[in-house]
Structure 1
């Protein structure tokens, strides 16, 4: 491939590149304006020729980062697997980028965004301390996905994110400073100190007089996510086998409101075993629903097997007049947190019951892959979160017992 330079005016040059052409095709050239010395123009010409020959050249564009962010979101925020994310996740991505990235860098040409500017953005976020380190890391993850797609589509020659040095770390996450939003944590990406068996019993007992009591019990006994629990139907419960199928979840978005959809990942589709005490709580709740549905007062003796709830009746509906209207997830979490704080449990969240359940099983020596399958999570993510938390007294006791048993075994052999 040939190229030449032509001086337009002092310090201004036209870089002329002869582009490849098919047989019978007219001559094609690419003209690029360059300002600088003749030597610098020759170097830039050589660079452009090499890029074009290697198929790495990106045409100049006036597309701004802000415009590309909106295009990426409109396309469904596709990632490396080129799949769209859920509507709820998409709205969260939009919130992060529009709040923390666009105001600072949205005006910049997409092709001109530099790693140093991103470093400065992250440094400013950290200095302002308006959002937690964990949310700062979420911003980095989403922003990185946005730029990676631009690079994959050939809109930028290189991805500036690859040279960023001020990457926010989620390790400094402080539960006391978590901002309140409507984003449910899908995985166990952080496990707090948890509660002892006595403390957990006290917490759950504090909800016994409330209609949400069965939800709290099932959350602690199953490790299921809030939005999975609120989407459960009575048809998901197999009384004979004492199992519960989890095959859907609530999704709360601005576009669609509250709706029921399949779980986010295949891991979410699962069947879990329940203990007798939890089954008893659920069956008592179903009897209450049957009486309400048929208008039968408490204490009246009737054959409840003759009463049938709607086929899509929810276990924990918002209204017991329809039984199919889901609860508002954000309001439910807020009410739980308020009640837990009044009971003396500080900033305990409903989602913490999921972490407490997983921690208890792991402390009891249940294999990590078995626990992960039960709660519908990635074993690697679960293990990483578990290893970051402080050991509990129960875990230390289990460790001591295991070491004693191991030592007794090999010492007795000698």
Structure 2
């Protein structure tokens, strides 16, 4: 039953006939926004570019974003009555709760994907996101802290006596992601060529830590490292060999070439448990918590582990290393690299202006 004037009813009827002719007609439904979100997550949150479920970790993150930030306000609203104005009001509400700009962007992207799936499933004729006036953009996101070379050296030295020292050093001087570092195996280290091979990453979901391939082909890469890092890694491997042999005294003379670690032994395993297991992965979130706590103590409050990756990329770009070379090292495509780090590189303008002062005489 239609509630409105005769002219409005006729206009509505014409719209229905037109959409039917175009194949875009959507039958009325009482399905709610919350109901659609739950269904979309249940079937694996398929997107428009790849019509298949996302990874378990990504699905967990999508669920957290939508159920924490979207469902509390929009849960009972009928899906077909959701408007761009109501979504704008939601974003305004979230901003009053001091939501991080990066998180708001992620909410917008994931919610947009859910509504896009509703359009493809004929639950909506058009996504209200198409009419949004205040869509948050990536440019508004907080890209974190970019350390310069002196600051990076101070940070790494501050971790020297910590169990995280080598993990932090690799992150700082290679730009590798946390979960790529924690998934490294000893057979990924080439001592002769001084490279680390990235072939997998950790994936953490509720109650499980496993391995997965990199997200894209660019993620599969070999990274050149300095001899100092190679030496530190060799020393770490020797420590593990002694541990495997039960040799506590580091001064004891032992032919380590006679000892071997398991084929899938990790460079940074977890030794939590009754016996040493060189293949058990560490808890990535525990690593992040420990890093944040110690970084604050050594003079870097608010620094995130991921900021080491951004700092490394920024430093290379500031040195004049070509964008495509930096992109390959980080596993980015060049466009994404420039978009991600443009905000940090832009800060060089003031520094260059100061350097130029007094150089030109007219």
Which of 307, 324, 341 in structure 1 is aligned with 2:296? 341
Alpha-carbon contact 2:57-2:203 (below 8 Å) kept: yes
Deviation of the 1:209 alpha carbon: 1.7
Residue pairs, 1:6-405, within 5 angstroms: 33-81=1-49, 82-129=51-98, 131-173=99-141, 190=143, 192-195=145-148, 197-254=149-206, 257-296=208-247, 297-319=249-271, 321-389=276-344, 390-392=346-348, 396=352
In the superposition, relative to structure 1, how do residues 259 and 156 fare at CA in structure 2: closer, same or farther (>3 Å)?
same
TM-score of the superposition, structure 1-length normalised? 0.80
Using CA pairs below 8 Å that are at least 6 residues apart, which structure has the higher relative contact order? 2
Alpha-carbon contact 1:337-1:347 (below 8 Å) kept: yes
Aligned-partner SS, 2:342: helix
What's the Cα RMSD here? Answer: 2.3
Alpha-carbon contact 1:364-1:395 (below 8 Å) kept: no
Deviation of the 1:394 alpha carbon: 11
Alpha-carbon contact 2:41-2:59 (below 8 Å) kept: yes
Alpha-carbon contact 1:363-1:395 (below 8 Å) kept: no
Deviation of the 1:378 alpha carbon: 2.6
Alpha-carbon contact 2:201-2:213 (below 8 Å) kept: yes
Deviation of the 1:146 alpha carbon: 0.5
In structure 2, the partner of 1:30 is none
In the superposition, relative to structure 1, how do residues 266 and 395 fare at CA in structure 2: closer, same or farther (>3 Å)?
farther
Partner Cα distance (1:294, 1:93) in 2: 45
Alpha-carbon contact 1:236-1:246 (below 8 Å) kept: yes
Structure 1: segments with no counterpart, 5+ residues: 1-32, 175-189, 408-414
Partner Cα distance (1:98, 1:305) in 2: 54
Aligned-partner SS, 1:358: helix
TM-superposition CA deviations, 1:119-175 (whole Å, max 9, x none): 11111112232x11221121111111110111122111121110111223454545x
TM-score of the superposition, structure 2-length normalised? 0.91
Structure 2: segments with no counterpart, 5+ residues: none
Larger radius of gyration: 1
Aligned-partner SS, 2:2: strand
TM-superposition CA deviations, 1:304-352 (whole Å, max 9, x none): 1110001111101111811111111111111111111111122222222
TM-superposition CA deviations, 1:181-200 (whole Å, max 9, x none): xxxxxxxxx252313x3322
Deviation of the 1:43 alpha carbon: 2.8
In structure 2, the partner of 1:10 is none
Alpha-carbon contact 2:262-2:278 (below 8 Å) kept: yes
Aligned-partner SS, 1:216: helix
Deviation of the 1:358 alpha carbon: 0.8
